[in-house]
Structure 1
Amino acid sequence: MSKRALITGITGQDGSYLAEHLLDQGYQVWGLCRGQANPRKDRIAKLIPELSFVDGDLMDQGSLVSAVDLVQPDEVYNLGAISFVPMSWQQPELVTEVNGTGVLRMLEAVRMVSGLTKSSGGGPPRGQIRFYQASSSEMYGKVAESPQRETTSFHPRSPYGVAKAFGHYITQNYRESYGMYGVSGILFNHESPRRGAEFVTRKISLAVSQIKLGLMDKLHLGNLDAERDWGFAGDYVRAMHLMLQQEQPGDYVVGTGAMHRVRDAARIAFEHIGLDWQEHVVVDPGLVRPAEVETLCADSGNARRELGWEPEVDFEQLMRMMVESDLRQASRERDYRQLLATGSW
């Protein structure tokens, strides 16, 4: 009998890649969606028609209990979150409710359906629902050491990072308090052609495609010297799955271990279409974060040794992949507009 997985955040970048990976592994996959009329649900259903859906909302405890009880999953992947960090300064209470308290609600739903009351002291019971929490490198914030590992202390520099730290610790607490098989993946930045347009790597690839086609001329960016450990989302969802296949639960840092500046991302993207990035990039002070996280770099040694995980796509390949995808889409849209304008069908 095939395993069942329930994914929150199914309509996002990670949710879509994870769903595809689990389906390839022979799982039945359910996605939690807030409302059947959700337009993003329609998009993901067209991309991955084998998915099933269940109603639920990370801000509604009862709906989560009902969803978990209906699906009866073997594994729950809690990827649902408001993931754009700058928004957390604009709506800190909402981000905290979803990214922090939402984790607690999901854990409670799993605990209640599993019938867990207290820790048995002998490890997770056989057959228990296994829970994955999407933690974030943003929890490290003002880093205490570099590279960052599982034991590095947290000093988040945004409401987003603070909320994610709560989600991380409450997952750890449920593991210790109830014997729940709960793990957190401390994932460093991971991108793809499915990344939201508000994120800097996708903002760059979208702009480059528009500039290549002569549809715009300048790209406005914030701190060009901010450094990140960027990888490919399709690689990182493999690590999520591997974490839930281990005999004992544990938290893992997942990243490439290679740092790149925002200016590097811009340079690679523009070079791919034969242009000089410095002629098109404008530094906009209004796009700089109130409290910047300057340097994030993963020490994913434990994930590599214990999970057997390795990233397969490097940063230059990733940026070129994103540019090519956005260039194809922009070309199709341009051609369609031209057809409409000329009436040439």
Structure 2
Amino acid sequence: MNSSTSPKTAFITGITGQDGSYLAELLLSKGYEVHGLIRRASTFTTDRIEHLYRDPHEPGAKLHLHYGELTDSSRLISLLSEIAPDEVYHLAAQSHVRVSFDEPEFTANTTGVGTVRLLEAIRMIGLDVRFYQASSSEMFGATPPPQHEETPFSPRSPYGVSKLFGYWTTRNYREAHGLYAVNGILFNHESPRRGETFVTRKIARAAARIALGHERHVYLGNLDAVRDWGFAPEYVEGMWRMLQADEPDDYVLATGTAHTVEDFARLCFGHVGLDWTRHVRFDERYLRPTEVDALIGDPSKAARELGWRPRTFVPELARIMVDAELSHLQGPTADVAPFPTPYPGRPIAG
């Protein structure tokens, strides 16, 4: 553990994802040394953080990447022992809800049991660390909105069930072992860095491509699903605020506003002067076996205790995402492209 006068050190699982990349940016801007866990793959998976990366052997390098898996307890123990972070942000998961129905065991093993492995590694080493668990609004599932910290859970997917396992595991380690461990129950949060298979990015990308004549239609599932969509960079700030509080607790982050998938499609296509009804097609393959009809969060506790409030809402979010896609298709620039151009051949620690 670093002394109070030294820069803080953070360890992020899922650093190559949407939230991990924005969180790494935020922590680096605050002077942290950041270590990230990445999976070994035959292709580069670090596109979203390439603009942050420097050779770790260069003087002043603050971002370090390490190969590892949430299914490998010994690797987690060795990495945490070596890094001795002040803060751990556990964001990694199999995070696609529809896919979790096809791969329930894999989802449970990574999204659920992976949390146990990480917390048990912290306990076994005896680290004096603050731990953030990325919980999800999908844990509420069938429970009617608005949903807040005291709302009963009723998950409707293997992903939601796995996240609920991680949520209760985090609370148990806080209460049984005295760890500073918190759950951030985040409602949907989007950005140009969202994965292309997620519905908001899929719609924004299609609107831009159709407007430029690259394709004609996009295929979607349930257009009536109601969600509370916010802007990812603001939500990672909320994660950080949770670990700066005097006492550990659990918090909902949300905008408190409701929009349907149809609303989002109308806004994205409208931004490029198109009628969404001419280009959106229904495909039942995208339906879930059990649907979650409405997720709308109540973030009043986070506002009251953390001073966190959303600033970006769906109409602006749709414009941001479509503009990023247009810029990327027409010639990306560093500040608005979905993510910077990959730079191959960089070394990775560990």
Say whether the fold is shared (TM-score over 0.5). yes
**Which string of whole-angstrom CA distances, capped at 9 and with x for unpartnered residues, describes residues 258-317 of structure 1?**
010000000000110011111111122221111000000001110000000011211111
Task: Tell me the equivalent position of 1:124.
Answer: none
Task: Tell me the equivalent position of 2:325.
Answer: 326
Give structure 1 stretches of 5+ with no counterpart: 116-127, 334-345
Task: Tell me the equivalent position of 1:15.
Answer: 20
> What does 1:200-219 align with in structure 2 at a 5 Å threshold?
200-219=199-218
> What does 1:57-72 align with in structure 2 at a 5 Å threshold?
57-72=69-84
Task: Tell me the equivalent position of 2:189.
Answer: 190
Task: Tell me the equivalent position of 2:121.
Answer: 109
What is the SS of the residue equivalent to 1:26? coil
CA distance in 2, matches of 1:247, 1:332: 46
Q: CA deviation at 1:110?
A: 1.1
CA distance in 2, matches of 1:37, 1:26: 32
Task: Tell me the equivalent position of 1:51.
Answer: 63
Aligned residues of 1:36 and 1:55 also touching (Cα < 8 A)? no
Task: Tell me the equivalent position of 1:252.
Answer: 251
Q: Relative to structure 1, is the Cα distance of residues 35 and 163 closer, same or farther in structure 2, using a 3 angstrom cutoff?
A: same
**Which string of whole-angstrom CA distances, capped at 9 and with x for unpartnered residues, describes residues 70-127 of structure 1?**
1110000000001111110111000000000000000011112226xxxxxxxxxxxx
> What does 1:119-158 align with in structure 2 at a 5 Å threshold?
128-143=128-143, 145-158=144-157
Q: Relative to structure 1, is the Cα distance of residues 206 and 163 closer, same or farther in structure 2, using a 3 angstrom cutoff?
A: same
Q: CA deviation at 1:37?
A: 6.2
Code of the residue aligned with 1:70 in structure 2: it is: E
Code of the residue aligned with 2:190 in structure 1: it is: E
Q: CA deviation at 1:53?
A: 1.2
CA distance in 2, matches of 1:190, 1:75: 22
CA distance in 1, matches of 2:276, 2:294: 22
CA distance in 2, matches of 1:36, 1:155: 35
Task: Tell me the equivalent position of 2:226.
Answer: 227
Aligned residues of 2:98 and 2:286 also touching (Cα < 8 A)? no
2:273 counterpart of 1:269: no
2:99 counterpart of 1:87: yes
CA distance in 2, matches of 1:286, 1:23: 41
2:174 counterpart of 1:171: no
Aligned residues of 1:10 and 1:31 also touching (Cα < 8 A)? yes
Kindly report the root-mean-square deviation, in angstroms, between the aligned alpha carbons of the 2 structures.
1.3
Aligned residues of 1:55 and 1:67 also touching (Cα < 8 A)? no
Task: Tell me the equivalent position of 2:11.
Answer: 6
2:88 counterpart of 1:76: yes
CA distance in 2, matches of 1:233, 1:17: 8
Aligned residues of 2:149 and 2:250 also touching (Cα < 8 A)? yes
Identity %: 51
Task: Tell me the equivalent position of 2:340.
Answer: none
Q: CA deviation at 1:58?
A: 0.3
Q: CA deviation at 1:54?
A: 2.0
CA distance in 2, matches of 1:94, 1:310: 35
Q: CA deviation at 1:180?
A: 0.3
Aligned residues of 1:137 and 1:186 also touching (Cα < 8 A)? yes
Task: Tell me the equivalent position of 1:39.
Answer: 44
Task: Tell me the equivalent position of 2:310.
Answer: 311
Bigger relative CO (Cα 8 Å, ≥ 6 apart): 2
Task: Tell me the equivalent position of 2:31.
Answer: 26
Normalised to the residue count of structure 1, the TM-score between the two structures is: 0.90
What is the SS of the residue equivalent to 2:331? helix
Q: CA deviation at 1:52?
A: 0.8
Equivalenced residue count is: 319
What is the SS of the residue equivalent to 2:222? coil
2:287 counterpart of 1:288: yes
Q: CA deviation at 1:51?
A: 1.6
Aligned residues of 2:10 and 2:88 also touching (Cα < 8 A)? yes
Give structure 2 stretches of 5+ with no counterpart: 1-5, 54-61, 333-350
CA distance in 2, matches of 1:157, 1:276: 33
CA distance in 1, matches of 2:16, 2:178: 30
CA distance in 2, matches of 1:37, 1:6: 24
Q: Relative to structure 1, is the Cα distance of residues 20 and 205 closer, same or farther in structure 2, using a 3 angstrom cutoff?
A: same
Task: Tell me the equivalent position of 1:341.
Answer: none
What is the SS of the residue equivalent to 1:299? coil
CA distance in 2, matches of 1:38, 1:96: 25
Code of the residue aligned with 1:130 in structure 2: it is: R
Q: CA deviation at 1:45?
A: 4.5
**Which string of whole-angstrom CA distances, capped at 9 and with x for unpartnered residues, describes residues 15-47 of structure 1?**
000000111111111101123866113x24422
**Which string of whole-angstrom CA distances, capped at 9 and with x for unpartnered residues, describes residues 121-154 of structure 1?**
xxxxxxx2000000000000001x4200101111
Aligned residues of 1:58 and 1:102 also touching (Cα < 8 A)? yes
Normalised to the residue count of structure 2, the TM-score between the two structures is: 0.89
